[in-house]
Structure 1
Amino acid sequence: MNFKLTALLLLLFTMGSMSAQQKKWTLRECVEYAVENNLTVEQYELDLLSAHIDKSDALGDMLPNLNASMSTSGNTGLSFDPTTQEPVTTTIMTASGGLSSSVTLFDGLRNIHRLNRAKLNALSNQYRLDDLKDDISLNVANSYLQILSNKETLKVFNARYAVTEQDLKRTKELVEAGVLPSGDLLEVEATAANLEQQIVNTENQVLLSRINLAQLLQITDYENFDIVDIDFEIPPTDILNNSPKEIFAKALTFRNDIKFSQSNIDLAIEDLKITKGALYPTLGGFFNYNTRFSDQERFDNITGQLFRESFGDQLWMNDGISYGLQMNIPIFNGFSVKNNIKRSQINVERAKLQLEQEKLGLETNINQAYVDVKSFSKAYEAAQKTLDARRLAYNYSKERYDVGLMNAFDFSQAQSRVDDAAAELVRTKYDYMFRIKVLEFYFGVTLDLEGY
């Protein structure tokens, strides 16, 4: 029975391991996993939680506080009874307690500005987090498409190698029959060896690109990590119907990096308001309630006997209340307030310059992406035409080679040109696809993950 149970558990474990090894990731899964497990994202999320706590602190600073206190002590020898303020020379136990509350009524509106700043800071941290997620999504998509590009290139070389093996077999038969010289066989063998080397190099590129994506996802099991093998065609797009200025104008309305820079200006302005608030007087209110108890006995002049008031009666008889207002007026603080205001004004200007710099960088990136889409579109069309022409030339060369009108060296060169053209077409295809996605992303088109 134990043997059967062990065998069953081993089988289930093996099946689970095979299932894990056979899992292939879609682009949607890669992006979601990268966003959920990225360490920087986790840090930014903690910053966002901290910003929400700061908002709660700012709101709490506008409310009255309430504190309770209590103490007890014993004294032997000369001391003062806190309930009668009379000196006594005995052992006395005393206790006191109270409640105190204070509230800021006016502090130059700094409490209101602190609350506004805390709200803006939480919003700013959200923009920063969303911008990071956008960057991660694009990086993962680029790495994902790079793997697909390398895999498709590998398929091209494998298919060409299969054809070359047939040519090698045919050439060997013709050489043995005395139709072709032995040098032609050596040339075809050299072509096959060159293809084998290209296949090995491309396999390494596939592995390296898989490792690169796995690292983005922070997955260490590189050997078992792989993506879904899907052939993609160039997606239809009308993004080039919009000018770079139109794309830039729309990007300014939703880009999280721009919103983050704008929120930094708002934060700097709130900091300036908080700093200026130090120029105004502050007004606060306070309320205190105190009571005390003593175990000291008293002499009753009427009865002529000693007695002690009960604990409850003493708390009632010995309590007291104090309340009032307190105002502080700043007169001179060694230029600290004035200098802090100047620093805050400089920070406002610095934040504005940072926003303009972000806008310039965004406009540059959009113009570059626009040019890349047009240039890679032309490059892809040119690569397609080149491949078609190389294939026609190859077919013509093969016909001449089969009837002995072309030597093996020239024929192998025709084959190599077809291989290079096919590999170039694959590269330009995926480069073009990624550039389209980048430009559409700047225009507000969500990264399309369906079917990836």
Structure 2
Amino acid sequence: MKSSIVNKMVWFSLILFGVSVHSQTKKWTLEECVNHALENNISIKNSTLDKELADIERSTAIGNFLPSANATASHSWNIGLNQNITTGLLENQTTQFTSAGFNVGVDIYNGLQNQYRLRRANLSQIASQYQLTKMQEDIALNVANAFLQILFNKENLKVQKEQLLNNQKQMERSEQLLKAGVIPRGDLLDIKATVASSEQLVINAENLLLISKLSLAQLLQLEDFKEFDIIDREYEATQTPLLLQTPEAIYQKAKETRTELKIAQTNLEIAEKDVSISKGAYQPRLQGFYSFSTRASNLDRVTGVELDPSNPTTVIGIVEGTNQNVLQPNFNAILGRPSPIFDQFDANKGQNFGVQLTIPIFNGFATRNNVQRSKVALERSKIAYEQEELTLERNVFTAFTDVKGALKSYESALTTLEARQEAFNYAKERFEVGLMNAFDFNQSQTLLVNAQSEVLRTKYDYIFRTKILEFYFGIPIIQKP
């Protein structure tokens, strides 16, 4: 008795634990899936890095307007036979020199290239933001598609399980009819085969559901996707108000809102700035410069002079008429230790400043070819913009047509399902009284299951295609309340 009570308590605890674990499994909404993907998807992260590069490019363009400043310093040793700059004699000596300087340069005029580069950088920033937005929109659409695919597979699994349950009940009923002698043994074998086929369809449906969950989890960059699941939500396949619009009206709206067209327009403006930048190289360039320098050495310095005791004078000429020698005293320099280094820096400092004008005359057609290349790129951008308009128009008309076709397919599937359900009910009544064989009954049942699956497929296909059409009309995937 005690053992029985203990076993019951153990089973009760396991059931509670299972319920607790199941309740802790997070189920994601469509909004949560989209938001998580926008924050963690790898493609979006790459687009974010592209935007950061565009910000750096703009910072570089701003820096072109600022002066360039550089400081220099050097210290050298000169060993061997060299001229003593103090005495003018060749001596074997080791001398040290220290120099320092500071240079500043600034562009005063360079054909407005800096201005055009800054405008181009601003456009690149806008284009990178558009690229990021486009990537976010594509990811959101892919997430919505994967989300709806899971819902479809869940509904389809319910249909297959329900059909399996009906087949199992029908098999039990057939066993009773066989015992009563109402149906032959072959009909029971057909029903058993149908049950086995239904079990296989349930397994396939479970696998498709698992794969669809895995696909969405990977799209969300989830590491632990084994327990991933979404909230079961019923989406109504109601007729979208956009079908009351004309494809032309939706296209005009898309031209105002679609990101890919904005990207093409921005790239066209960037190409125009590239032409202006390349043409700026034809014009003269005026630069201002300023430099400051100073130096010091370890050479001895002259502190005074004294007469040469061995040769105090030198004859430098004769006075005409008197023939007297003209004498010049010979002085020797009195050398002392080098001046303090900071005193030398102060005494030897110098400055240099001015302007430099560079006029391009001929550079091997380099400037001309750059201009021609930028013009070709501009024409490509114009063609790309026109192509983007044509692609957008085609996509809008295709999306509009797809929605209309999907709605008709869904309505037709509903009509077919209603007819198949009535036919199955009639077949079931005939089979139960022995007026229909198992093969024909299974055929009717298979047609019903196919009709149910087709309703689900056309329903979610219509919902997703409606999302695409709304997408082109400027309606976001996730509408904020």
TM-score, normalized by length of structure 1?
A: 0.89
Mapped to 1, the partners of 2:73 and 2:361 lie a distance apart of 38
Partner of 1:114: 117
Q: Contact between 1:366 and 1:442, CA under 8 Å: does it hold in 2?
A: yes
Per-residue CA distance 1:413-450 (angstroms, 9 max, x = gap):
22222111111001111001001111001100011367
Mapped to 1, the partners of 2:392 and 2:87 lie a distance apart of 77
Q: Contact between 1:239 and 1:440, CA under 8 Å: does it hold in 2?
A: yes
The Cα of 1:249 is off from its aligned counterpart by 1.1
Partner of 1:3: none
User: Which stretch of structure 1 is more off in the superposition, 415-424 or 293-302?
Assistant: 293-302
Residue aligned with 2:27, SS:
coil
Residue aligned with 1:279, SS:
coil
Partner of 2:199: 196
The Cα of 1:23 is off from its aligned counterpart by 3.0
Partner of 2:71: 68
Per-residue CA distance 1:181-236 (angstroms, 9 max, x = gap):
32332232233223222222222221222232233234465543332232322256
Letter in 1 for 2:179: E
Does residue 156 (structure 1) correspond to residue 159 (structure 2)? The answer is: yes
Does residue 35 (structure 1) correspond to residue 65 (structure 2)? The answer is: no
Mapped to 2, the partners of 1:328 and 1:377 lie a distance apart of 70
User: Which stretch of structure 1 is more off in the superposition, 299-308 or 19-28?
Assistant: 299-308
Q: Contact between 1:300 and 1:307, CA under 8 Å: does it hold in 2?
A: no
Of the candidates 420, 425, 430, which is equivalent to residue 460 of structure 2?
Answer: 430
Mapped to 2, the partners of 1:417 and 1:411 lie a distance apart of 10
Mapped to 2, the partners of 1:20 and 1:442 lie a distance apart of 39
TM-score, normalized by length of structure 2?
A: 0.84
The Cα of 1:111 is off from its aligned counterpart by 1.1
Aligned pairs for 1:26-425 within 5 A: 26-76=29-79, 77-79=81-83, 81=85, 89=91, 91-219=94-222, 221-234=224-237, 237-295=240-298, 296-301=300-305, 306=336, 308-425=338-455
Unpaired stretches in structure 1, ≥5 consecutive residues? 1-13
Q: Structure 1 pair 61/86, CA: closer, same or farther in 2 (3 Å)?
A: farther
Per-residue CA distance 1:22-79 (angstroms, 9 max, x = gap):
3333222322333333333222222221121111111111111111112223445534
Mapped to 1, the partners of 2:88 and 2:467 lie a distance apart of 88
Partner of 1:10: none
Q: Contact between 2:417 and 2:452, CA under 8 Å: does it hold in 1?
A: yes
Q: Contact between 2:58 and 2:122, CA under 8 Å: does it hold in 1?
A: yes
Partner of 2:330: none
Mapped to 2, the partners of 1:75 and 1:408 lie a distance apart of 111
Letter in 2 for 1:70: A
Q: Contact between 2:182 and 2:433, CA under 8 Å: does it hold in 1?
A: no
Per-residue CA distance 1:344-372 (angstroms, 9 max, x = gap):
11100001111111111111111111111
**Cα root mean square deviation, aligned:** 2.7
User: Which stretch of structure 1 is more off in the superposition, 284-293 or 423-432?
Assistant: 284-293
Q: Contact between 2:302 and 2:334, CA under 8 Å: does it hold in 1?
A: no
Q: Contact between 2:62 and 2:118, CA under 8 Å: does it hold in 1?
A: yes
Q: Contact between 2:71 and 2:101, CA under 8 Å: does it hold in 1?
A: yes
Letter in 2 for 1:352: K
User: Which stretch of structure 1 is more off in the superposition, 394-403 or 345-354?
Assistant: 394-403
The Cα of 1:240 is off from its aligned counterpart by 1.2
Q: Structure 1 pair 299/257, CA: closer, same or farther in 2 (3 Å)?
A: same
User: Which stretch of structure 1 is more off in the superposition, 131-140 or 402-411?
Assistant: 402-411
Mapped to 2, the partners of 1:87 and 1:354 lie a distance apart of 76
Q: Contact between 2:66 and 2:106, CA under 8 Å: does it hold in 1?
A: yes
Q: Contact between 2:239 and 2:407, CA under 8 Å: does it hold in 1?
A: no
Unpaired stretches in structure 2, ≥5 consecutive residues? 1-16, 307-332
Per-residue CA distance 1:154-200 (angstroms, 9 max, x = gap):
10111122122222212211210122332332232233223222222
Letter in 1 for 2:253: K
User: Which stretch of structure 1 is more off in the superposition, 339-348 or 22-31?
Assistant: 22-31
May I ask how many residue pairs the two structures share in their alignment? 435
The Cα of 1:294 is off from its aligned counterpart by 3.0
Q: Contact between 2:168 and 2:195, CA under 8 Å: does it hold in 1?
A: yes
Q: Structure 1 pair 449/221, CA: closer, same or farther in 2 (3 Å)?
A: farther
The Cα of 1:285 is off from its aligned counterpart by 0.6
Q: Which has the higher strand share?
A: 2
Mapped to 1, the partners of 2:238 and 2:104 lie a distance apart of 68
Q: Structure 1 pair 421/318, CA: closer, same or farther in 2 (3 Å)?
A: same
Q: Structure 1 pair 201/292, CA: closer, same or farther in 2 (3 Å)?
A: same
Letter in 1 for 2:137: D
